[in-house]
Chains A and B, each alone.
Chain A
């Protein structure tokens, strides 16, 4: 089984709807990063979470890390077409600061 599971693999929502993407680790996280990627482009940093129970928000995107530091969620409120893209979670297990990535969530927002 994978060390880091991301779900769902793809998501299609109507504009204005809320949505949640999950990232679950098989072991305790030192830190959890969320990135957004447009197809064929680099990754754009969204948020970094390190403390158990931590929650961060930026505009309409909120990310949380659970108390056990093994699960994170990314929530988008009132989605817009500009939110479309691939969302990736990256886990820092404290090993030379390498990141282990989830398989990504392809988000489509229908106008």
Chain B
């Protein structure tokens, strides 16, 4: 079955540590996105990528980095520069003919 896989489901980060969230899709979608969701709020765009080897900053990119070396993969690194990283992170992909498909999310907690 085609879809998006995010891992891990839960992630704990120590102060000053970088962590990487995985996002893999087998839908053959060109575009991929990372969103952050805080309690009681909607989704805010962190980074997006329209094609391989190219990505753009979203509304809240500070403290995050991404790469897009393969069409199927769009990992997100939460760096130590992100002062408030505790949140629910959602990855999505899309093509021109259909809307977004979302992964099941990764909950990141700072300990």
Chain A interface residues (CB < 8 Å from chain B)? 6, 9, 31, 33, 35, 40-45, 48, 88, 90, 96-104
Question: What per-residue 1/0 map shows which CB atoms of B80-91 lie under 8 Å from chain A?
Answer: 000000001010
Interchain Cβ contacts under 8 Å between A and B, 16 examples: A31-B99, A33-B99, A35-B102, A41-B105, A42-B90, A42-B103, A90-B43, A96-B48, A98-B33, A98-B48, A98-B58, A99-B33, A99-B45, A103-B40, A103-B41, A104-B42
Q: Mark B41-67, 1 if CB is under 8 A from A, else 0.
A: 111110010100000101000000000
Q: Is A101 in contact with B42, judged by CB distance below 8 angstroms?
A: yes
Could you tell me the distance between the alpha carbons of A6 and B43 in the complex, rounded to whole angstroms?
13
Interface contact tally, CB-CB below 8 A? 59
B77 to chain A, nearest CB (A): 20
A45 (CB) vs chain B CBs: closest residue: B99
> Does B101 contact A96, Cβ atoms closer than 8 Å?
no
Contact A33 B48 (CB under 8 A): no
| Minimal beta-carbon separation of B26 from chain A (angstroms) | 16
Chain B interface, DSSP helix/strand/loop, else mixed: strand
Q: Which residue of B lies closest to A96 (CB)?
A: B50
Contact A88 B102 (CB under 8 A): no
A42 and B94 in contact, given A90-B100, A98-B48 (Cβ under 8 angstroms): no
Residues of B within 8 A of A (CB): 6, 31, 33, 35, 40-45, 48, 50, 56, 58, 88, 90, 92, 94, 96, 99-105, 107
CB-contact partner of B100 in A40, A41, A45, A96, under 8 A: A45
In Å, the complex CA distance between A42 and B45 comes to 15
Tell me whether A88 and B99 are in contact (CB under 8 A).
no
Give which listed residue, A44, A48, A97, A103, contacts B42 with CB less than 8 A.
A103
- Report yes or no: B42 in contact with A6, Cβ–Cβ below 8 A: yes
Chain A neighbourhood of B100, CB < 8 A:
33, 43, 45, 90, 99
Q: In the complex, what residues of B have CB within 8 A of residue A102's CB? A: 42
Contact in complex: B41, A104 (CB < 8 Å):
yes
